[in-house]
Amino acid sequence: MRNHVSAIVFALAIIIGGLVLGRAYNYKFKTRNTVSVAGSANYDFTADLIVWSASFDRTSMDIKEAYAALKEDARQIHAYLTAHGINAGEIVFSSIDIDKLNENTFNEEGRQTGSVFKGYKLRQTVKIESKNIDSVEKISREITELLQSGIELASQEPTYYYTKLADLKLDLLAKASMDAYSRANTIAKNAHSTLGNLRRANMGVFQITGQYSNESYTYSGAYNTSSKKKTANVIVRMEYELD
């Protein structure tokens, strides 16, 4: 009799243990239904900082003469810029680059026989970083007036930046996250389910393109500097559990 009781108890222990292990396995490895969504946010804004630069040079057989002429050009350029509303603290002149000019000589057979020294070429760049965008834009177009003074300036196209980009990026991330949550919640409701815990979230590439342009987004993130009016865009990808 005792042997029968022991056998029954042992069998029940095996059955109960199997049920417990089975439920534990199912709880640990059961598949949870999820929904994956992408949320986006964009913002149109105008740059608040302009950067413009131009280069100028002088050439002479005498390096001291070329240097003196270049310094006089820099003085006149500085005076012109400040007279047109640019703050002196926004004007930066680069160091002077010096090149020795040599012209190759050839014989009647077309073989190079040597070179002849043609003088020194000194070059310098002037750069402006300013929030006075209208004034700098006007100067970039009219700076050639200095040609009348014998100053040869090679003006570059202005570039445009936004100094509050970090704050803008955080604001767009918040809005893109809310957009993703709203999309996921809509999907859950239409599927007669409820939205559960957030499983994962990834931020896509932050892009800045020119307004009304045909610029394409890039894998590394577009960053337009040629347009004054820009559009910022960010995408956030999220995955939620469905209860």
Q: Looking at residue 27, what is its pLDDT?
A: 47
pLDDT band at residue 58 under the 50/70/90 scheme: very high
pTM: predicted TM-score of the whole model, two decimal places: 0.78
Q: What is the mean pLDDT of residues 9-26?
A: 50
C-alpha–C-alpha distance, residues 70 and 87, integer Å: 22
- The CATH code of the domain that includes 137 is 3.30.70.2970
Q: Looking at residue 205, what is its pLDDT?
A: 87
Percent of the chain scored above 70 by pLDDT? 87
Say if residue 86 is in the same domain as residue 105: yes
Q: What is the mean pLDDT of residues 90-106?
A: 93
Say if residue 140 is in the same domain as residue 194: no
- Domain hosting residue 136, numbered range: 50-160
At 152, the amino acid letter reads E
Say if residue 219 is in the same domain as residue 184: yes
Q: What is the mean pLDDT of residues 213-235?
A: 88
pLDDT above 80 for 62: yes
**Structural domain ending residue among the three candidates 115, 144, 160:** 160
Say if residue 193 is in the same domain as residue 105: no
Say if residue 19 is in the same domain as residue 36: no
**Structural domain ending residue among the three candidates 160, 189, 218:** 160
User: How many domains is the chain partitioned into structurally?
Assistant: 3
**Structural domain ending residue among the three candidates 101, 133, 160:** 160
pLDDT above 80 for 44: yes
Query: What's the Cα-to-Cα distance from 17 to each of 9, 25, 29, 30, rounded to whole Å?
Result: 12, 12, 18, 19
Say if residue 42 is in the same domain as residue 9: no
Range in 38-42, 72-76, 78-82, 140-144 with the lowest mean pLDDT: 140-144
- Nearest CA among 207, 212, 206, 205 for reference residue 228: 212
Say if residue 134 is in the same domain as residue 214: no
pLDDT band at residue 150 under the 50/70/90 scheme: confident
- Between residues 100 and 152, which one has the greater pLDDT? 100
pLDDT tens for each residue of 159-175: 999 999 999 999 999 99
What is the residue-averaged pLDDT of the chain? 87
Say if residue 145 is in the same domain as residue 65: yes
